[in-house]
Structure 1
């Protein structure tokens, strides 16, 4: 039997889906870790990017710094964090490393999205007496929402793929299936783990694409 066939046989074996080390449990861990890191990343990056985009100041520097962060391997950041006092906090180093990895696309897309809003519309909003905060929340944010969601989609897919490094720090997730396969010299298990991660990433991509298609329709329906 070929390796793909063996991997499929491994995936379809009910015994591999049960228990704390089973696919089901590892999948839930992977999703929870991804969602947690995505929420933290959005809470950190989006307010900064939206405000800088609204003000039109310091955004280029923020985008360049965040993009420079993409050049730093996430695994290297994780190793360095494990050597600090943060390494004693369970999933702490993994979460920090993944959040730093997810911030760049969020900042870039949100900042660019706000800056690309028609300036004539913004001036009209201010002419109507809107404050800066009202202009940002009622005009610039709704119009830049597709671009902002695009950044969230990119960050989410990247997190799904990169969250496998949690296994290297003793954490959970689908990465544990892959590392266990390496330890057992089981190529089918390694391939099966990779297939699961790829399938989850594609599912997340599909969900966000569907959401992005609905956003313009809902925005248009409220006018």
Structure 2
């Protein structure tokens, strides 16, 4: 219990607002690495995923590449790119590693969201004269958006954890305090930095969970509501 008290004392200590890398600045750096790399990954993976889901072509290749990318060790990938690209470009090397780790989840969410749509809905759009591009933008993308946000949510959680270990190659972020605590054998600093990372990850997860519910098209939510009410009525026990 004392260890946790000391960890929270470290977090809220006035010393965290001063020094080489204040805690608030480390959090900003951490978020910058996370959202910057996820944004680049989304710019690559989302159009590719939409194209795969819309045309049905290239899915096997996407699944293979996603599986291969998921199996890459995070720390090993960061260190490898750091050595290949060069010491003077350590931030760029880290960004490339984070982007490669974020792409599989976003790509899977993009094409799975379109594939999950009932084919009769798409055929109805075509029957009223929609062009393939209109079907994509007015039917497939809006209905597939919740799964896409779910993919981005998974990518953010993976990257926000991986950014922590990037401190091994001299980057900032919350990993700096964690690595420094390991080097100095300061248990309160190690635990305190870990708690901040966990809280940050939970906050981002909760934010994307809410966003994932918000982007559900209103028509879909309204359509599901009556069926939910019928299920409730069937399972309710009549009172005497």
How would you bin the TM-score normalised by the shorter chain?
over 0.9
Give me the whole-angstrom Cα distance separating, in 2, the residues matched to 1:76 and 1:47.
28
1:81 aligns with 2:81: yes
Deviation of 1:155 after TM superposition, in Å, equals 0.8
**Counterpart of 2:147?**
147
1:42 aligns with 2:13: no
Relative to structure 1, the CA distance from residue 171 to residue 99 in structure 2 (aligned partners, 3 Å threshold; closer, same or farther) is same
**Counterpart of 1:69?**
69
1:134 aligns with 2:105: no
Deviation of 1:220 after TM superposition, in Å, equals 6.0
Alignment of 1:77-116 (within 5 A): 77-116=77-116
**Counterpart of 1:178?**
178
2:215 aligned counterpart, secondary structure: helix
Alignment of 1:188-199 (within 5 A): 188-199=188-199
Is the contact made by 2:143 and 2:217 (CA closer than 8 Å) also made in structure 1? no
Is the contact made by 1:142 and 1:219 (CA closer than 8 Å) also made in structure 2? no
Deviation of 1:85 after TM superposition, in Å, equals 3.1
1:57 aligned counterpart, secondary structure: coil
Deviation of 1:64 after TM superposition, in Å, equals 2.4
Give me the whole-angstrom Cα distance separating, in 2, the residues matched to 1:32 and 1:145.
24
Q: What is the CA RMSD across the aligned residues, in angstroms?
A: 2.0
Give me the whole-angstrom Cα distance separating, in 2, the residues matched to 1:88 and 1:127.
57
Give me the whole-angstrom Cα distance separating, in 2, the residues matched to 1:67 and 1:10.
40
Deviation of 1:101 after TM superposition, in Å, equals 0.7
**Counterpart of 1:25?**
25
**Counterpart of 2:230?**
none
Give me the whole-angstrom Cα distance separating, in 1, the residues matched to 2:45 and 2:27.
27
Runs of 5+ in structure 1 lacking a partner?
Answer: none
**Counterpart of 1:159?**
159
Give me the whole-angstrom Cα distance separating, in 2, the residues matched to 1:17 and 1:189.
14
